[in-house]
Structure 1
């Protein structure tokens, strides 16, 4: 029975990570071939996926938490901040980076968030720089340099707006990671993320209402891509990742979770035929190596602490 649970866990995390990565590439397809507006897609994605996550919480877990999170003023305020400056910021900056560049670069730039967290904690004097941090920073900066320049100091291989939005996406993800910790200590992740998505989606609705789109002009293929991004690339991806934690260790989920940038790069290059230079492949390998190194180091620290 335990072996069966682990197999299910591996299925969940592999599927979830792959959906996350491929979802960004499919969003790029929507922007390029169907002229879908970034604001509209982010709004629809957040509102629908958030509502479905809360529905899953209601049907399968402690449904009281859906309302209880709003009863305490401090929790309610934190949730609003998280929804606006965490969830909405991460989703919008990531999609904007894809729109100006491509899903591969946007995903890899977003994965610079751990470096930003290290810098923040150093400034706050909440940690000391260790040898593993030097390795992490070196892999990250080397990977970014090669990814964005393809080994040439004279030119950028990626449009500047895509780089700026991608870096901002990393900053937003760092805030998202740090700020949510106190809320997740008391409430299920489906509750916090579900409400945060709805808050972000409702806020962006004032900029681009989800009902203001020419639905009749969108072909069937476009609707298939939309469903994938919203349902599979957002709701199911997050839900499956959370479910995998019930039968796998954090190390296993973190390591297999590195499939996300791999899936984004492979589908961007081979499906959308985006050009990718040899030095960019080396940069991608450096960033993925950084993710794996951090995951393994974190697990080792946990074992020593236990």
Structure 2
């Protein structure tokens, strides 16, 4: 297939990741609401990973039954992806937003593109030109201004929340890269199913499964949980992994920095919070970073979608 025939298909992965960023931001806002009503972040993680695994399993069973099959040799990679990657990022991120502002937790988590880019360059031999470096820099600086990290209150944040957010960046980096490697052999939904399944297994060993049934039964609460599982977890993670499949983890993580911008927009729409000129400037920087990385539609032959096409049956 020629390069020109492949390029148009790159528009869809960027769109999917941008949608994922918006949905993650909305899920974070909904999670904060539950924490304010007294729900533990650990219980919410148990809900998210357990029911996300069941939802994806249902989809695979009815539409892609053969995708449930994996090579036993890859089992340990899936266990690591689920227990340390997906499970780790879920619990540290949700714990962080239970302690500090959602936008601030997102900023610290989005140190991950730096980690992903450096590791991919050193160990995966990913091409790292000046435009990609500029995009990473602009994206992070933009996030810095969007969440008003320059304000005095930034330095009085809860230390546990800050540490959790930084750990979340590390887990984000880990699951993005390991997920990319596994998608060279498997579909994004196969990788996600086993990631959530092993994360769910871990959390239901640590926490009693009865927690899933014993929390409060208010209708409004259940609607919020259902939203977080579907639109805040399954769909955005699916979109993100589908993006990685075409773009690789570095580009995908740069585009995903649209999440704090989305959080700011949602706060403006839902909570009536006014965006400051510096926040608008930060949003402009992030959008500029995404335009730069999206405009350079180079085809990376190491992207999982092309590795799978070239793999003999």
Q: What range is the shorter-chain TM-score in?
A: 0.7 to 0.9
Give me the TM-score of the superposition, normalised by structure 2.
0.75
Shift of 1:98: 1.5
Residue of structure 1 equivalent to 2:177:
178
1:300 aligns with 2:298: yes
Residue of structure 1 equivalent to 2:30:
26
Query: How far apart are the structure 1 equivalents of 2:190 and 2:112?
Result: 23
Residue of structure 1 equivalent to 2:60:
57
More displaced 10-residue stretch of structure 1: 116-125 or 96-105: 116-125
Matches within 5 A, 1:66-215: 66=68, 68-69=69-70, 71-72=71-72, 74-122=73-121, 124=123, 126=125, 130-143=129-142, 145-146=144-145, 150-152=149-151, 156=155, 158-212=157-211, 215=214
CA contact (8 A) 1:26 1:225 kept: yes
For residue 155 of structure 2, give the secondary structure of its aligned residue in structure 1. coil
CA contact (8 A) 2:139 2:257 kept: no
- Over the aligned positions, Cα root-mean-square deviation in angstroms equals 3.8
Query: How far apart are the structure 1 equivalents of 2:225 and 2:293?
Result: 33
CA contact (8 A) 1:143 1:283 kept: yes
Shift of 1:269: 4.7
Shift of 1:260: 4.0
Query: How far apart are the structure 1 equivalents of 2:291 and 2:227?
Result: 27
Unaligned ranges ≥5, structure 1: 1-5
Shift of 1:28: 0.9
Query: How far apart are the structure 2 equivalents of 1:128 and 1:29?
Result: 41
Query: How far apart are the structure 2 equivalents of 1:274 and 1:35?
Result: 24
Cα pair distance change 1:55/1:125, threshold 3 Å: closer
Give me the TM-score of the superposition, normalised by structure 1.
0.76
Correspondent of 1:48 among 35, 46, 51: 51
**How far does the alpha carbon of each residue in 1:120-140 deviate from its partner, in whole angstroms, 9 at most, with x for none?**
245559467632244234324
Count of matched residue pairs: 288
Unaligned ranges ≥5, structure 2: 1-8, 307-313
Query: How far apart are the structure 1 equivalents of 2:216 and 2:154?
Result: 39
Shift of 1:80: 0.6
CA contact (8 A) 2:20 2:235 kept: yes
Shift of 1:19: 2.7
Cα pair distance change 1:97/1:147, threshold 3 Å: farther
Cα pair distance change 1:150/1:105, threshold 3 Å: closer
Query: How far apart are the structure 1 equivalents of 2:121 and 2:45?
Result: 33
Query: How far apart are the structure 2 equivalents of 1:25 and 1:39?
Result: 16
Residue of structure 1 equivalent to 2:311:
none
More displaced 10-residue stretch of structure 1: 37-46 or 161-170: 161-170
Matches within 5 A, 1:259-278: 260-272=259-271, 278=277
Correspondent of 1:38 among 22, 30, 41: 41
Shift of 1:218: 4.2
